[in-house]
Protein backbone atom coordinates (compact mmCIF):
# COMPACT_ATOMS: atom_id res chain seq x y z
CA UNK A 1 0.00 0.00 0.00
CA UNK A 2 2.78 2.39 0.98
CA UNK A 3 4.73 1.42 -2.14
CA UNK A 4 1.74 2.28 -4.33
CA UNK A 5 1.47 5.72 -2.72
CA UNK A 6 5.16 6.35 -3.36
CA UNK A 7 4.77 5.32 -7.01
CA UNK A 8 1.69 7.50 -7.40
CA UNK A 9 3.45 10.48 -5.81
CA UNK A 10 6.48 9.97 -8.06
CA UNK A 11 4.18 9.83 -11.09
CA UNK A 12 2.49 13.10 -10.12
CA UNK A 13 5.89 14.72 -9.56
CA UNK A 14 7.07 13.67 -13.02
CA UNK A 15 3.86 14.98 -14.61
CA UNK A 16 4.13 18.33 -12.78
CA UNK A 17 7.80 18.81 -13.68
CA UNK A 18 7.17 17.82 -17.31
CA UNK A 19 4.23 20.24 -17.52
CA UNK A 20 6.34 23.09 -16.15
CA UNK A 21 9.12 22.34 -18.63
CA UNK A 22 6.63 22.32 -21.52
CA UNK A 23 4.85 25.52 -20.49
CA UNK A 24 8.04 27.48 -19.70
CA UNK A 25 8.76 28.51 -23.35
CA UNK A 26 5.18 29.78 -23.73
CA UNK A 27 5.42 31.81 -20.49
CA UNK A 28 8.79 33.22 -21.57
CA UNK A 29 7.26 34.32 -24.89
CA UNK A 30 4.27 35.86 -23.11
CA UNK A 31 6.48 37.82 -20.71
CA UNK A 32 8.77 39.00 -23.54
CA UNK A 33 5.77 40.30 -25.47
CA UNK A 34 4.87 42.56 -22.53
CA UNK A 35 8.31 44.16 -22.03
CA UNK A 36 9.87 47.38 -23.19
CA UNK A 37 12.83 47.08 -25.56
CA UNK A 38 15.23 47.86 -22.68
CA UNK A 39 13.71 45.05 -20.59
CA UNK A 40 13.68 42.73 -23.61
CA UNK A 41 17.43 43.15 -24.20
CA UNK A 42 18.50 43.49 -20.54
CA UNK A 43 21.56 41.51 -19.42
CA UNK A 44 21.13 39.54 -17.22
CA UNK A 45 17.58 38.93 -18.51
CA UNK A 46 14.59 40.02 -16.49
CA UNK A 47 11.87 37.38 -16.46
CA UNK A 48 8.88 39.53 -15.51
CA UNK A 49 7.92 42.76 -17.31
CA UNK A 50 7.65 45.80 -15.08
CA UNK A 51 5.67 47.82 -15.94
CA UNK A 52 3.60 45.58 -18.20
CA UNK A 53 3.43 46.98 -21.75
CA UNK A 54 -0.05 45.99 -22.96
CA UNK A 55 0.37 48.61 -25.67
CA UNK A 56 2.78 46.30 -27.53
CA UNK A 57 -0.21 44.42 -28.92
CA UNK A 58 -1.96 47.53 -30.19
CA UNK A 59 1.30 48.80 -31.73
CA UNK A 60 1.49 45.65 -33.86
CA UNK A 61 -1.75 46.66 -35.61
CA UNK A 62 -0.51 50.22 -36.15
CA UNK A 63 2.91 49.41 -37.62
CA UNK A 64 1.86 47.06 -40.40
CA UNK A 65 -1.06 45.50 -42.32
CA UNK A 66 -1.54 42.86 -39.61
CA UNK A 67 -5.29 42.73 -40.29
CA UNK A 68 -4.75 42.05 -44.01
CA UNK A 69 -2.30 39.25 -43.20
CA UNK A 70 -4.82 37.74 -40.77
CA UNK A 71 -7.63 37.94 -43.34
CA UNK A 72 -5.46 36.21 -45.97
CA UNK A 73 -4.62 33.43 -43.51
CA UNK A 74 -8.30 32.99 -42.64
CA UNK A 75 -9.24 32.68 -46.33
CA UNK A 76 -6.49 30.17 -47.06
CA UNK A 77 -7.15 28.12 -43.92
CA UNK A 78 -10.96 27.95 -44.24
CA UNK A 79 -10.81 26.92 -47.91
CA UNK A 80 -8.07 24.39 -47.15
CA UNK A 81 -10.00 22.80 -44.28
CA UNK A 82 -13.15 22.57 -46.40
CA UNK A 83 -11.25 21.03 -49.29
CA UNK A 84 -9.43 18.53 -47.09
CA UNK A 85 -12.63 17.35 -45.37
CA UNK A 86 -14.53 16.83 -48.63
CA UNK A 87 -11.78 15.36 -50.83
CA UNK A 88 -10.08 13.15 -48.22
CA UNK A 89 -13.33 11.69 -46.90
CA UNK A 90 -14.61 10.84 -50.39
CA UNK A 91 -11.36 9.18 -51.46
CA UNK A 92 -11.08 7.38 -48.12
CA UNK A 93 -14.64 6.05 -48.47
CA UNK A 94 -13.74 4.61 -51.87
CA UNK A 95 -10.66 2.88 -50.47
CA UNK A 96 -12.55 1.61 -47.42
CA UNK A 97 -15.84 0.42 -48.91
CA UNK A 98 -15.91 0.31 -52.70
CA UNK A 99 -14.53 -2.46 -54.89
CA UNK A 100 -12.37 -1.61 -57.92
CA UNK A 101 -9.25 -3.07 -59.58
CA UNK A 102 -5.86 -2.56 -57.90
CA UNK A 103 -7.47 -0.91 -54.86
CA UNK A 104 -4.86 -2.11 -52.37
CA UNK A 105 -1.97 -1.30 -54.73
CA UNK A 106 -3.26 2.21 -55.29
CA UNK A 107 -3.69 2.71 -51.55
CA UNK A 108 -0.10 1.60 -50.94
CA UNK A 109 1.05 4.14 -53.55
CA UNK A 110 -0.97 6.85 -51.79
CA UNK A 111 0.65 5.94 -48.45
CA UNK A 112 4.06 5.94 -50.13
CA UNK A 113 3.64 9.58 -51.13
CA UNK A 114 3.61 10.46 -47.42
CA UNK A 115 7.33 9.68 -47.40
CA UNK A 116 8.11 12.42 -49.95
CA UNK A 117 9.32 15.61 -48.23
CA UNK A 118 7.19 18.66 -49.14
CA UNK A 119 10.28 20.61 -50.16
CA UNK A 120 10.85 18.14 -53.02
CA UNK A 121 7.43 18.95 -54.49
CA UNK A 122 7.64 22.71 -54.22
CA UNK A 123 9.51 23.29 -57.53
CA UNK A 124 7.16 21.13 -59.68
CA UNK A 125 4.22 22.88 -58.00
CA UNK A 126 5.79 26.26 -58.76
CA UNK A 127 6.12 25.36 -62.46
CA UNK A 128 2.51 24.11 -62.63
CA UNK A 129 1.04 27.16 -60.92
CA UNK A 130 3.16 29.47 -63.06
CA UNK A 131 1.78 27.86 -66.23
CA UNK A 132 -1.73 28.32 -64.80
CA UNK A 133 -1.02 32.01 -63.97
CA UNK A 134 -1.78 31.41 -60.29
CA UNK A 135 1.44 32.73 -58.80
CA UNK A 136 1.18 35.65 -56.38
CA UNK A 137 -2.42 34.70 -55.57
CA UNK A 138 -3.86 32.80 -52.62
CA UNK A 139 -5.16 29.99 -54.85
CA UNK A 140 -2.03 27.75 -54.79
CA UNK A 141 -2.07 27.81 -50.99
CA UNK A 142 -5.50 26.19 -50.63
CA UNK A 143 -6.32 24.41 -53.89
CA UNK A 144 -3.83 21.60 -53.16
CA UNK A 145 -5.97 20.50 -50.21
CA UNK A 146 -8.88 19.88 -52.61
CA UNK A 147 -6.81 17.14 -54.28
CA UNK A 148 -6.98 14.80 -51.25
CA UNK A 149 -3.78 14.60 -49.22
CA UNK A 150 -2.49 11.12 -48.18
CA UNK A 151 -2.56 11.70 -44.42
CA UNK A 152 -6.22 12.73 -44.52
CA UNK A 153 -7.11 9.74 -46.69
CA UNK A 154 -5.39 7.38 -44.26
CA UNK A 155 -7.08 8.98 -41.24
CA UNK A 156 -10.60 8.86 -42.68
CA UNK A 157 -10.15 5.37 -44.14
CA UNK A 158 -9.28 4.01 -40.69
CA UNK A 159 -12.49 5.51 -39.30
CA UNK A 160 -14.65 4.14 -42.14
CA UNK A 161 -13.17 0.65 -41.76
CA UNK A 162 -14.30 0.53 -38.12
CA UNK A 163 -17.98 0.94 -39.03
CA UNK A 164 -19.74 -2.48 -39.11
CA UNK A 165 -20.89 -3.67 -42.52
CA UNK A 166 -24.40 -4.17 -41.16
CA UNK A 167 -25.06 -0.41 -41.46
CA UNK A 168 -23.99 -0.42 -45.10
CA UNK A 169 -26.05 -3.49 -45.96
CA UNK A 170 -29.13 -2.09 -44.23
CA UNK A 171 -28.77 1.15 -46.18
CA UNK A 172 -28.51 -0.79 -49.45
CA UNK A 173 -31.72 -2.66 -48.61
CA UNK A 174 -33.38 0.73 -48.10
CA UNK A 175 -32.31 1.77 -51.60
CA UNK A 176 -29.34 4.01 -50.82
CA UNK A 177 -26.62 4.36 -53.44
CA UNK A 178 -22.90 4.56 -52.45
CA UNK A 179 -22.91 8.38 -52.24
CA UNK A 180 -26.00 8.40 -50.03
CA UNK A 181 -24.40 5.79 -47.74
CA UNK A 182 -21.25 7.92 -47.54
CA UNK A 183 -23.11 11.19 -46.94
CA UNK A 184 -26.02 10.14 -44.70
CA UNK A 185 -24.52 7.26 -42.70
CA UNK A 186 -20.73 7.18 -42.68
CA UNK A 187 -19.97 10.89 -42.27
CA UNK A 188 -22.30 11.43 -39.28
CA UNK A 189 -20.76 8.38 -37.59
CA UNK A 190 -17.20 9.71 -38.04
CA UNK A 191 -17.57 13.23 -36.61
CA UNK A 192 -14.61 12.83 -34.17
CA UNK A 193 -12.22 11.82 -36.96
CA UNK A 194 -13.67 14.58 -39.13
CA UNK A 195 -12.87 17.09 -36.38
CA UNK A 196 -9.38 15.64 -35.96
CA UNK A 197 -8.63 16.10 -39.66
CA UNK A 198 -10.01 19.64 -39.51
CA UNK A 199 -7.75 20.54 -36.56
CA UNK A 200 -4.65 19.03 -38.18
CA UNK A 201 -5.33 20.83 -41.48
CA UNK A 202 -6.07 24.10 -39.68
CA UNK A 203 -2.80 24.02 -37.75
CA UNK A 204 -0.77 23.06 -40.83
CA UNK A 205 -2.16 25.74 -43.12
CA UNK A 206 -2.28 28.49 -40.48
CA UNK A 207 1.42 28.04 -39.67
CA UNK A 208 2.61 27.29 -43.21
CA UNK A 209 5.65 29.31 -44.28
CA UNK A 210 7.36 27.48 -47.17
CA UNK A 211 4.60 27.68 -49.79
CA UNK A 212 3.66 31.34 -49.13
CA UNK A 213 7.36 32.27 -49.30
CA UNK A 214 7.66 30.59 -52.72
CA UNK A 215 4.32 31.45 -54.34
CA UNK A 216 3.68 34.99 -53.04
CA UNK A 217 5.57 38.18 -53.88
CA UNK A 218 3.08 41.01 -53.23
CA UNK A 219 2.90 42.21 -49.67
CA UNK A 220 -0.90 42.54 -49.74
CA UNK A 221 -1.19 38.79 -50.42
CA UNK A 222 1.06 37.66 -47.57
CA UNK A 223 -0.38 35.30 -44.98
CA UNK A 224 0.23 35.84 -41.28
CA UNK A 225 3.49 33.84 -40.75
CA UNK A 226 5.27 35.21 -43.81
CA UNK A 227 3.84 38.68 -43.14
CA UNK A 228 5.28 38.74 -39.62
CA UNK A 229 8.67 37.63 -40.92
CA UNK A 230 8.62 40.32 -43.63
CA UNK A 231 8.11 42.98 -40.96
CA UNK A 232 11.14 41.90 -38.94
CA UNK A 233 13.31 44.68 -40.41
CA UNK A 234 10.60 47.26 -39.79
CA UNK A 235 10.53 46.30 -36.11
CA UNK A 236 14.32 46.60 -35.64
CA UNK A 237 14.83 48.08 -32.21
CA UNK A 238 11.35 46.95 -31.15
CA UNK A 239 11.66 43.19 -31.37
CA UNK A 240 9.16 42.77 -28.56
CA UNK A 241 6.47 43.77 -31.09
CA UNK A 242 7.42 40.77 -33.20
CA UNK A 243 7.02 38.49 -30.19
CA UNK A 244 3.59 40.01 -29.52
CA UNK A 245 2.59 39.47 -33.18
CA UNK A 246 3.73 35.85 -33.08
CA UNK A 247 1.76 35.27 -29.90
CA UNK A 248 -1.38 36.81 -31.37
CA UNK A 249 -1.07 34.54 -34.39
CA UNK A 250 -1.42 31.55 -32.04
CA UNK A 251 -4.81 32.63 -30.65
CA UNK A 252 -6.95 31.10 -33.48
CA UNK A 253 -5.15 27.76 -33.12
CA UNK A 254 -5.75 27.70 -29.37
CA UNK A 255 -9.42 28.58 -29.83
CA UNK A 256 -9.94 25.88 -32.48
CA UNK A 257 -8.21 23.27 -30.35
CA UNK A 258 -10.20 24.15 -27.23
CA UNK A 259 -13.47 24.11 -29.22
CA UNK A 260 -12.71 20.75 -30.87
CA UNK A 261 -10.78 19.12 -28.01
CA UNK A 262 -13.53 16.62 -27.18
CA UNK A 263 -13.87 15.40 -30.77
CA UNK A 264 -10.10 15.63 -31.32
CA UNK A 265 -9.34 13.18 -28.49
CA UNK A 266 -12.10 10.80 -29.61
CA UNK A 267 -10.86 10.94 -33.19
CA UNK A 268 -7.21 10.24 -32.37
CA UNK A 269 -8.24 7.32 -30.16
CA UNK A 270 -10.58 5.78 -32.74
CA UNK A 271 -8.06 6.13 -35.57
CA UNK A 272 -5.14 4.73 -33.57
CA UNK A 273 -3.06 7.94 -33.68
CA UNK A 274 -1.08 8.70 -30.53
What's the DSSP call for residue 186? I
CATH 3.40.309.10 fits 64-234, yes or no: no
Residue 5: count of CB within 10 angstroms of its CB = 9
The predicted-structure confidence for 21-55, as pLDDT tens digits, reads as follows 888 888 888 888 898 888 888 888 888 888 888 88
The answer, yes or no, to whether residue 171 has pLDDT greater than 60, is yes
Say if residues 158 and 88 touch (Cβ distance below 8 Å).
no
Q: Among the listed ranges 86-90, 148-152, 175-179, 267-271, which one has the minimum average pLDDT value? A: 267-271
Q: How confident is the model at residue 139 (pLDDT cuts 50, 70, 90)?
A: very high
Domain ranges within the chain, ordered by starting residue: 1-57, 64-234
The answer to whether 252 and 207 have CB atoms below 8 angstroms apart is: no
Highest mean pLDDT among 10-19, 51-60, 124-133: 124-133
Q: Residues 255-274: pLDDT tens digits? A: 887 887 777 666 666 555 54
Please count the other Cβ atoms lying within 10 Å of the Cβ belonging to residue 118.
10
| pLDDT number for residue 128 | 94
Q: What's the confidence (pLDDT) of residue 116?
A: 87
What span, in angstroms and rounded, lies between the C-alpha atoms of 21 and 34?
21
Degrees (nearest 5) of the Cα angle 9, 15, 19?
A: 145
Average pLDDT over residues 110-116: 89
Q: Is the pLDDT of residue 230 over 70?
A: yes
Amino acid sequence: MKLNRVRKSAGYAVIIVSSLVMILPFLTTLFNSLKTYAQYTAVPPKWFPSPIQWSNYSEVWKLGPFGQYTLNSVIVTVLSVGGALISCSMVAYAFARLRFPFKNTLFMIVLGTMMIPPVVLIIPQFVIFKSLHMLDTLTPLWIIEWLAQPFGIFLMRQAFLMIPKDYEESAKLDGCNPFQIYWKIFLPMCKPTFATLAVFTFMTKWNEILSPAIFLTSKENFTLPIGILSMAGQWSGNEQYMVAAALMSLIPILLVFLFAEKYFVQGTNSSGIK
